[in-house]
Structure 1
């Protein structure tokens, strides 16, 4: 018998950690946004599974490596441990359509706004006996592609004003989140856990 779960899908750069303006390649550049760790802890305590989904085209562009991205993802969980929390799963997309690379082009369907990373997470949960309730699950990010990915995936999209803050672009394109928050903490406490 499968158990139904709620998932909080989170973009990484600009949503959980500060967007450095270019690709983050080292732990020294990686800084959590204020109260982001607390937000993740609150969501987990409320029963949400936490899944990070992040475009990392710097790999295809040769700016960063798979090893560096995976080290930063591990470091994120090390930082979250300061709030006695962690993410459950983390997925990243190394490809970029403008930088063809035979090693990474097969991952084009995972690059947000495509839904490949979300679908893979949902499939991985299912393989472990958990059914994701999409109608009770959220996708939080700082870009229009995050909102669009959430909508395409049947999740409830939330836009945060940290990072790129593409609120105006979402309005112009008619790709609308169900909620806009100043940051991850306010998204969780002001909308998701209300």
Structure 2
């Protein structure tokens, strides 16, 4: 039987020979250890897929609020829902900016119009009202501003964790923009699908665009579109001061 010679390892330019059983000098051991680590790192890196070729991750839902398919031939009416709002014969309809929140143009942040607003909305929900926000948002002309506004609405929803609601937003000056009643008609269609007919005498709309003159406490209203919208729909109208704060009526004249 042929004898087996020990394996030989040649190291360095001078071809120093090590027999397989010999212990390499410390300097050589360190070099071999470093080489082993580099080989392991290379293997791990090779297993990774470059981000350019990786499949994009699916968006992560951040809460119970979601955007539904927009309405209109040009998708000019946004529609979102928080939780699972039920169709009720009683609708508490509200404008958004200047009514539920203070109007701002700084992106995602928001502030309640008054600290009583979230509690009042929770009461309406417990009383069986369908809470629906109707907002003119023709200023959202770019994808960036639209995305920021959508995030703001998501933040509002997160601050109302127990209040189901819908929101409609008119992006263009078409049939959906108040005082035209396109957004309300879409709501009626949605409710009709649930065999619910809205009782307009038991419903109402709250908005700040009431055509009021300037007073010592506030500026002149920029428009009367909210008041005119309520009249066109055929439901009672209140300003935020009247509804949330119980102040005397200025809007019925």
Which category describes the TM-score, using the shorter chain as reference length? 0.5 to 0.7
1:146 to 215, 226, 229: 226
**Map of 1:167 onto structure 2:** none
Q: Secondary structure at the match of 2:184?
A: helix
Question: Could you tell me how far apart the structure 1 residues matched to 2:144 and 2:190 are?
Answer: 27
**Map of 2:99 onto structure 1:** 15
Unmatched segments (≥5 aa) in structure 2: 1-86, 210-223
The offset of 1:67, in angstroms, is: 2.2
8 Å contact from structure 1 (residues 9, 52) kept in 2? yes
User: What's the C-alpha RMSD, in Å, of the aligned pairs?
Assistant: 2.2
Deviation track 1:142-188 (CA, whole Å, cap 9, x = no partner) reads 11211110110011111224xxxxxxxxxxxxxxxxxxx1xx5336x
**Map of 1:25 onto structure 2:** 107
**Map of 1:119 onto structure 2:** 185
Structure 1 or 2: larger helix share? 1
Question: Could you tell me how far apart the structure 2 residues matched to 1:137 and 1:64 are?
Answer: 35
Normalised by the length of structure 1, the TM-score is: 0.68
Question: Could you tell me how far apart the structure 2 residues matched to 1:32 and 1:92 are?
Answer: 19
- Is 1:157 matched up with 2:234? no
**Map of 2:119 onto structure 1:** 38
Q: Where has structure 1 moved over 6 Å in runs of 4 or more? A: none
8 Å contact from structure 1 (residues 17, 31) kept in 2? yes
How many pairs does the alignment contain? 146
8 Å contact from structure 1 (residues 11, 52) kept in 2? yes
8 Å contact from structure 1 (residues 58, 64) kept in 2? no
Higher relative contact order (CA closer than 8 Å, sequence separation 6+): 1
**Map of 1:94 onto structure 2:** 171
**Structure of higher CA gyration radius:** 2
Q: 1:153 to 1:118 in 2, by over 3 A?
A: same
8 Å contact from structure 2 (residues 168, 183) kept in 1? yes
Deviation track 1:49-92 (CA, whole Å, cap 9, x = no partner) reads 100110111113x49633222222222111112xx3232x1100
**Map of 2:196 onto structure 1:** 130
Unmatched segments (≥5 aa) in structure 1: 97-107, 162-180
Q: 1:24 to 1:157 in 2, by over 3 A?
A: farther
**Map of 1:74 onto structure 2:** 154
